[in-house]
Structure 1
Amino acid sequence: MYTFTQKKYLFMFLFIALLFLGACGSDDDSSSDDSNTSGENDESSEITVDSDMGEVTVPANPEKIVAPYNEDTLIALGETPVAKWAIGESIQDYLEEDLADIETIEWTLPLEQVLSIEPDLIILDHTLDNYEGSYDDYAAIAPTYVLSEEETGDWKVRLQKFGEILGKEDKAEQTLADYDEKVNQAKEELDETLGDESVAMMWVTGGEYFLFEENRHTANMIYNEMDVEVPGIVEELGQGGEAWNPISLEKLSEMDADHLIILGNEDDEGIQALENSNVWNNTDVVQNDQVYYLEDESNWTNNGFVASEQTIEMFVDLFK
């Protein structure tokens, strides 16, 4: 039989032992939780995606993205690049509302400039020959994703790929849905204001005339999504290739569009030549006063959600 004192010490011993075992269990659980949390963080800290150069592992939440000439896509997904595309002083003006305070990076992507930016993700177009460095050069600086030819050429496909890379698939899908709704609304308005009248678009720069083919930049959306009538002079051009060839002033005398949108600075020598050409001034589109001049061509000559959205709004407004 235990005495009262012995029972008291035995009870204290058992109580301390239980506390010790409980603490050990708690530590084990905590370690297990920490281990699981660490594993989850490791798993979510980067993702592996297929690129035009094979599989590449990229950070899941990059903070400093360099994606020259693809800033439109980043903005559509709510991302801000660390630097924006430029050719000398020329930039994509239509994006300046979002990128006014962002430093520029030359379109050839100079290695020294890329190094100074210290990006944690680089996204390049498939035409790698346009860049100063090689793929290996950029991959040595930061994880580098190379877009396929399809992703480079089709902004909708590109948007979905960016959504995958940046973990914003839902945002990409919602953006595309919003775009489709905007196109449908524009079609309804144009059915009433424009009907089956044809429209041509032309960029005038450096004294030369670039008529938009059906698939050139935002003309693809205007003709093939909003179903605007294509004039004969544009149909004759066929599908536009990578090179955009100018059209002669003499050929423009055959302009048969009901409406013509001219993009370019009014002081450009090409526009001055048009205004001084008797042949041009006798075309029906001029005689009917259906020529519309717009100074900023940047959204019209780009492919992307933001460019398309701005072009739709401007196009619809012209014919109200």
Structure 2
Amino acid sequence: MMKNKTYLAMLALLLLTLVLSACGSNSANEPASEEQETASQESNEEENITEPVEEEASGTVIYESELGPVEIPANPTRIVALTNAPNVLSLGGNLVGVDEWTEANPLFTEKLEGVTVVSEGNLESIASQTPDLIIAGSHMSNIEEYAKIAPTVVYTWGKLDYLDQQIEIGKLLNKEEEALNWVDDFKERTATIGNEIKAKYGDDVTVSVFEVADSGLYVYGDNWARGTEILYQAMKLEMPEKVKEDALGPGMYNLSLEVMPEYSGDFIVASRSLAGTADVMNTEIWNGLPAVQNNRVIEIEAKASSYSDPITLEYLLEIFTEGFLGQAE
């Protein structure tokens, strides 16, 4: 009788163990609770959000260039700029190669420290910089060869105005918003200064931009650097009629000293080498100009004024503001 009771107790304990084990197994295979599903989904969503951002940062995008779509790095880090290097600099682009003219400009000396000067005709000098983006001019003859080295974007000089060109470089470098913000701010500031100049000297005040050099004498229209875009386009100041006639269309006009008075406005911006005095400025004709006699000559360094990028424009705007508004009548 005792043996039977012991046997029955052991059997009951075994059955209880089997039941508990089955319950545990079923629990592990049951669908997750609503809270568990939500947590799992959030975790997966976070993973899905992170991955595309990483791909975008290190991947490529399609840039619509004037020669057609080009696949470029989303964020280029090794740029060779055979043209428009100052625009790239103004947006903080990482240049590894630039043209000799940009390198020789004193405004960019510090910013280009350690950057290699390359030549559009020397493919090896370009390839040795292992660029991930090349910016070239449409007039260059090796564009197809550049494209074999790295994605190449081409611009035609003068096809875009100076502000649209900056915006386009902003798109290229994934910094369009930064470029747009600068353009809006620059337009507002220059318009205000232009109105102040007109209020002080009259709405019809004129200004001429001359390149004064021993090698020649030139007068400029409204889109040939030397601050012409600021004076005529942004500030909307007037140019003398003779300048409109001969320089506005082609952009620049070579003239002789004898006819210089015909092209001289109420103000003169003289682009020259400030290291010395040009022979023109020692002549009776120069010293007889009303702008010279009235102390209305604003001198700018020629080498630092040959571009129309934000760095150059801000530099010239400061000089012009002081030249027009800082002097006493």
* Secondary structure at the counterpart of residue 99 of structure 2: strand
Aligned match of 1:223 in 204, 219, 232? 232
Residue 73 of structure 2: aligned partner: 59
Distance 2:42 2:290 in 1: 83
- How far is the alpha carbon of 1:240 from its aligned partner? 4.4
Residues 27 and 198 (structure 1), Cα distance of their counterparts in 2 relative to 1, 3 Å cut: closer
Deviation of the 1:144 alpha carbon: 1.0
Residue of structure 1 equivalent to 2:289? 283
Q: Is 2:227 the partner of 1:213?
A: no
Query: Is 1:4 the counterpart of 2:16 in the alignment?
Result: yes
Whole-Å separation in 2 of the counterparts to 1:279 and 1:33: 75
How far, CA to CA, are the matches of 2:19 and 2:274 in structure 1? 104
The equivalent of 1:84 in structure 2 is: 98
- 1:93 Cα deviation (Å)? 2.1
CA distance in 2, matches of 1:272, 1:309: 29
Closer, same or farther in 2 for the Cα pair 1:245/1:237, shift >3 Å? closer
Does residue 1:115 correspond to 2:127, yes or no? yes
1:169-184 map, 5 Å? 169-184=176-191
1:187 correspondence with 2:194: yes
Cα shift at 1:117: 1.0
Residue 165 of structure 1 is matched in structure 2 by 172
Deviation at 1:274, TM superposition (A): 3.7
Q: What corresponds to 1:126 in structure 2?
A: 138
Q: Tell whether 2:182 aligns with 1:140.
A: no
Q: Residues 297 and 107 from structure 1, CA distance in 2 versus in 1: closer, same or farther, beyond 3 angstroms? A: farther
SS, match of residue 5 in structure 1: helix
Shift of 1:57: 0.5
The 1-side partners of 2:138 and 2:16 are apart by: 86
Give, as a single letter, the amino acid of the residue that structure 2 aligns with 1:96: T
CA contact (8 A) 1:59 1:120 kept: yes
1:230 counterpart SS class: coil
Unaligned runs of at least 5 residues, structure 2: 1-11
Which amino acid letter does the alignment assign opposite residue 53 of structure 1? L
Q: Structure 1 169/265 Cα, relative in aligned 2: closer, same or farther at 3 Å?
A: closer
Which residue in the other structure is 2:161 paired with?
Answer: 154
Q: Is the 8 A contact 1:52 1:146 kept in 2?
A: yes
Alpha-carbon distance in 2 for matches of 1:124, 1:312: 28
3-state DSSP class of the match of 2:100?
Answer: strand
Q: Read off the aligned partner of 1:308 and give its amino acid letter.
A: L
Partner of 2:6: none
Query: Once the 2 structures are TM-superposed, how far is the Cα of residue 166 of structure 1 from its aligned partner?
Result: 2.2
Asked whether 1:259 is paired with 2:273, we answer no
Which residue identity does 2:268 align to in structure 1? L
Residue type of the partner of 1:250?
E
How many residue pairs match? The answer is 305
Distance 1:279 1:30, change over 3 A: closer
Q: Is the Cα–Cα contact under 8 Å of residues 83 and 102 in structure 1 kept in the other structure? A: no
What is the alpha-carbon distance in structure 2 between the residues aligned to residue 287 and residue 33 of structure 1? 72
Q: Secondary structure at the match of 2:302?
A: coil
Q: Percent identity?
A: 23
Aligned-pair CA distance for 1:150: 5.3
Match among 278, 289, 312 for residue 307 of structure 1: 312
Report the TM-score when normalising by structure 2: 0.78
TM-fit CA distance, 1:174: 0.8
Contact 1:253–1:279 (Cα < 8 Å) also in 2: yes
1:204 pairs, out of 207, 212, 221, with: 212
Q: Structure 1 residues 287, 171: closer, same or farther in 2, change over 3 A?
A: closer
**TM-score with structure 1 length normalisation?**
0.80
* Structure 1 residue 208 displacement after superposition: 1.0
CA shift at 1:95, angstroms?
Answer: 3.0
Whether 2:84 is the aligned partner of 1:93: answer: no
Q: Root-mean-square deviation (CA), in Å?
A: 3.3
